[in-house]
Structures are given as C-alpha cells and as structure tokens.
C-alpha cells in the first residue's frame, strides 16, 4: 500500500482533478492533501487542519504535462521549509512527497480505514466490520495481497446477512461473466455505454473525487426501470442455447448457480417458475431479481 499511496501523488489525473498544479510555495492548495487523507488513506477525523496544511506544503512543486499526463517536479515551486505533520517535525529537502506519504501510511488509522473500506465495499455496507474475520490484522504490514486474501478466504463473503448492492457496472460485468458476453461485441458499439449512462454510472466519469454512491442510491424506482430495460435489450443478443438445453424444471437451480445467488425468495421463485419457458423473460427476471442486484 505504501507503493500505491506514493503512486497516487504521481498520477496525472489525480493531480489535475485535485488542483495539484496550483499547489505552489507561498500559496499552497489544500485540496489534494485533504482528500488524500480523508478518502484514500486515513478517513475522517483521523487528521487535523494542521496536518492538512503541512501535507499541502509537502505536496508543492508538482506539475502535469498536459500532452502526456506525466507528473514532473519543479523544485522552484516547492516549499522546503520544515513542516509539522502528525507531530513529527522534519525539513522538506527536495521532493518530499514520498516521505510525507510514508508517514501518513504509518499511522494506525490507516490500517483501520483500509480494512473498513474493504469490508464496506466487498462484504457489507450496512454491518460494521467484524474483528473475527481478521482483515485488520492481515493489513498490519500494509500488504494489499494479504488483506485481499483475508477478504476472500475468511468466510465473510458467504455469510448471508452480509450484503452489498451491486453498482450498475458491477451488475453488468457479473452478467457478462455468467453468460460469457463480450461487451465489445454487443451492437450497436455504444450499447453498453448508452445503458450505463442512463443508470448513472459510466467508467472513469465519477460524479466527484469520492466516487459513486452506494447501496440505496442504486435501488430507486428509476434505477430499477433502467436495469430492466438494459437486461431486456441484452437478452436479445445472448445465446441461450446452454440454458435451453437444461430441462425446464432444473432451470431455476441452474441460473441460481450461474449467477452466484445464495437462494431465491419464494416471490422470485414463483416469478421465475412462470417464465422458465420464455428464456428472455426468464433471464431478465433473474438478473433483475433482488437476490442478484443485492449481492449476498
């Protein structure tokens, strides 16, 4: 994670988005320093305004070459005076962003924050992180692979009461994986983009630096209508031969396993039973079911 945190500061898109180009000696811009701690490394209430100002000074001097997106360091624009960051006073000799970033990542709050974000995004957005699954301990050395391994192998993903709402892109990609769909082969060329635009989530175009909303934001009646329209249009381009080869009485179990659904509710089961001989409708009902949209 230390390596990735350093790389964030050398990312041209992040520097431009958060006004890094305007962060210079004598007139520091605090946008990048604040968001770096709040959204990417520590979380709210784990730093002070003094830390924000100090980190902004540590991040001075970066410029982005617009034609290439490459981040360069201009020593003349950099503040070399000592800073006080998390009660640690140090001079800023040359390019000081890496040492300041390392100090931030070394804070105990970084372990708690990253572990909680992994839990929130992949296991449950409504239940607090459960210590028994050991995600925090796995991230103690700031090793991303160890933390991800804990998320995948600790059993939390299979606990039914833990759930997250699939965002539009996640929902679409899950369908593509299940039915071996190549988005680039869908027609017309802007098919996927057009539907995702209606669902308010287009890759690389987040509404703000914090990214897209979660959970209930994707469960509105409008979202449901756009999801159904997307699935219905998608059904016209899917090869259902494998599904058709499954005996009708076994199709519900087949698509449940295919989509990775733990179990369908009785209401969904009845709806699927009534549609199991109309494969397009059967598909649309399954991928728009609450049990698939809300991943448990």
Least confident of 11-20, 75-84, 168-177: 75-84
Q: Please tell me what DSSP assigns to residue 40.
A: I
Strands (E), the chain: 62-65, 70-73, 83-85, 88-90, 164-165, 294-295
Clarify whether residues 68 and 144 are in a common domain.
no
- Is pLDDT above 80 for 64? yes
pTM: 0.85
| Separation between Cα atoms, residue 174 and residue 259, nearest integer Å | 8
Clarify whether residues 58 and 128 are in a common domain.
no
Clarify whether residues 153 and 171 are in a common domain.
no
Of 253, 2, 214, 183, nearest to 103 by C-alpha is 2
- Is pLDDT above 60 for 94? no
**Domain total in the chain:** 3
| Separation between Cα atoms, residue 259 and residue 74, nearest integer Å | 51
Clarify whether residues 15 and 117 are in a common domain.
no
pLDDT the model gives residue 214: 86
Top-confidence residue, 125 or 236: 236
Residue with tokens 């009785």: 266
Q: Which of 158, 177, 199 is the last residue of a domain?
A: 158
Clarify whether residues 177 and 62 are in a common domain.
no
Check: CB of residue 57 under 8 Å from CB of residue 28: yes
Q: Domain containing 152: what range?
A: 108-158
Clarify whether residues 242 and 277 are in a common domain.
yes
Q: Please tell me what DSSP assigns to residue 166.
A: P
């Amino acid at each position: 994670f230390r390596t990735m945190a350093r790389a964030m500061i050398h990312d041209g898109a992040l520097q431009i988005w958060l006004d890094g180009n305007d962060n210079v000696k004598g007139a520091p811009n605090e946008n990048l320093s604040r968001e770096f701690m709040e959204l990417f490394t520590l979380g709210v209430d784990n730093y002070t305004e003094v830390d924000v100002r100090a980190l902004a000074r540590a991040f001075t001097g970066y410029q982005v070459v617009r034609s290439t997106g490459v981040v360069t360091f201009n020593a003349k624009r950099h503040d070399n005076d000592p800073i006080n960051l998390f009660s640690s006073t140090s001079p800023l000799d040359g390019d000081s962003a890496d040492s300041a970033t390392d100090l931030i990542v070394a804070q105990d709050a970084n372990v708690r924050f990253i572990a909680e974000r992994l839990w929130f995004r992949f296991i449950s957005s409504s239940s607090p992180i459960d210590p028994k699954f050991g995600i925090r301990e796995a991230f103690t050395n700031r090793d991303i692979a160890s933390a991800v391994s804990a998320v995948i192998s600790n059993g939390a993903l299979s606990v039914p009461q833990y759930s997250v709402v699939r965002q539009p892109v996640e929902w679409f990609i899950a369908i593509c994986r299940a039915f071996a769909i190549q988005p680039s082969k869908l027609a017309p060329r802007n098919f996927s983009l057009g539907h995702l635009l209606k669902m308010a989530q287009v890759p690389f175009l987040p509404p703000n630096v914090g990214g897209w909303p979660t959970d209930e934001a994707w469960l509105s009646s409008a979202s449901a209508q756009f999801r159904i329209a997307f699935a219905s249009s998608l059904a016209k381009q899917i090869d259902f031969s494998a599904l058709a080869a499954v005996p009708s009485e076994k199709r519900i179990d087949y698509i449940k396993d295919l989509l990775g659904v733990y179990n369908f509710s009785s209401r969904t089961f009845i709806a699927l039973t009534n549609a199991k001989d109309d494969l397009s409708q059967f598909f649309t009902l399954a991928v728009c079911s609450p049990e698939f949209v809300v991943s448990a």
